[in-house]
Amino acid sequence: MSFRLLVALASLALAASLHPSAQRPSTAIDPLASDLARLVQAQGVSGFEGDVAAAIVRLLPAWAKPVTDEAGNLVLTIGQGSPHVLLTAPLDEDGFIVSEMTDEGFLRLHRVTTGARHRLYEQFHYGQPVVVRTPRGTLIPGVTATISTHLARGAEPMTAPRGLGDLWVDVGVERRAEAEKLGIKMLDTVTLRERWQALAESRLAGVAAQARGGALALANVVRAYDQRPAASGTVTFAWVTQTVFGVRGHARLARKFAPDRVVAVVRTAPAREADPQGDAGVLGDGPLVASQERVQEARQKGVSVQAYSSLRGPAAWPAPLTQAVALPVRFAQTPVEMVDFEDIVALTELLRNLAGLPETGKGRSEAGRPVEPIAFPSSAQQARPFFRTLAPLIETYGVSGAETPVREQIERHLPAWAKPETDQAGNLTVTFGQGSQELLFVAHMDEIGYQVAEILEDGSASVRKLGGFMDLLLEAHPVLVHTARG
């Protein structure tokens, strides 16, 4: 029996690609964005901040030789005598550790930190690409499992909040022994893979971006000097560990130092000033200080700041000795904390003034270095032809009405004898054989997402959902808006 075989790749009506920053090109960006992206990309779950500390050291000038204390704090002291000013900024972030490996190879998690108060913190990690960091620094890719919207409809409320018990990490193995063979052990840290996204208007969003921005500002105070500056007394810079786990890093510093003044760069906690979307202060209007008195002091020195009465410094020193400052932030305690580079510049100047260090006259550098994506160890499976074919298809966007890039990728993989045709709807078909009986195979080229419905006065967009999926999987994660310009 002869028949004709028709292979059709359908272009169906869905929109707005939701692939995050995994495809971000390695290009030069604003120097502050480049530096901040490196700090955000470095994983530093509280108690495991070594990668972030190493990233800070790489930013410092050659004359700066910080030491690491028993708690992992990175400490640099210049000058001598009185007064002694101690400036601190956090290295760590909220996060998880591996608490169990099941017989089937799944990893279960435990929240190691106490700093995140957002009630959806665990949900932000549900159904997401994650990274397991081994003690040797190897990064093992994985995903947190999610239910199928098609199979689970009617079984449970699709909008029910997800908690710690819903987080099951799949690293692609079938047995516990296979997970152990990858090098995974109990207490290894687990964090989101997609950690930052550069935005318009000199802004960046990412994991712990407020804390990392504060750490960068403190580093920028030091690296503004080509040689060790002359200090009026003693100035100690400390990038501090475990600030969201019992304030242990600050406690270690308090046992070593008895400063006359402590200036602590802190995270903002939920407060009366914070609106429902987690804003603290106004982005671009300068760093936050705890009182109007501090506002006047800063403005007299030419630094624009904002009053934010809920700031609290670490309890390791008496309150009268401690001054808390912070970066303004939007979407606090989510994976897309948003900060403004101009606030980092202003915070750097504020910290320099509070330290009593001389001006340098230096401006911002002109170009940032490229930020490379996270590197994972290769596997035998990734070398197979199947993966080499599949990867570019997954990485190519296919929004509704604009599936041309996907279609072109498919055509590149077709054999020479195939004569593909594209109809008016954008469907790609390959037909071969002969006879009256037809077999039709259909595969989708499109992807689920959102479509911009309205651009609001504040620059945000109202979107409509296209396709069947759970909104919670996209909440507080980077997305890309595909414009008519491509």
Strands 306-307, 3-10: pairing is unpaired
Class in CATH terms, 96-193: mainly beta
* Strand spans (E) along 22-113: 67-68, 74-79, 84-90, 96-101, 107-111
Partnered with residue 94 across adjacent β-strands are: none
Q: Can you give the residue ranges of every domain in the chain?
A: 1-19+397-486, 27-93+197-355, 96-193
Strands 84-90, 234-240: pairing is parallel
pLDDT at 119: 85
Q: What's the Cα-to-Cα distance from 270 to each of 115, 312, 423, rounded to whole Å?
A: 11, 12, 54
What CATH topology corresponds to 27-93+197-355?
Aminopeptidase (3.40.630)
Instruction: Tell me if domain 27-93+197-355 and domain 96-193 are identical in fold.
Output: no
- Average of per-residue pLDDT values in the chain: 86
Among 389, 391, 392, 401, CA closest to 449: 401
- Asked if residue 105 has pLDDT above 70, the reply is yes
- Asked if residue 191 has pLDDT above 80, the reply is yes
For the whole model, what pTM was predicted? 0.88
Least confident of 69-83, 107-121, 162-176: 107-121
More confident site: 282 or 292: 282
Partnered with residue 451 across adjacent β-strands are: 464
pLDDT in tens, 33-85: 899 999 999 999 999 999 999 999 999 999 999 999 999 999 999 999 999 99
| Greatest pairwise CA separation for the chain in angstroms | 97
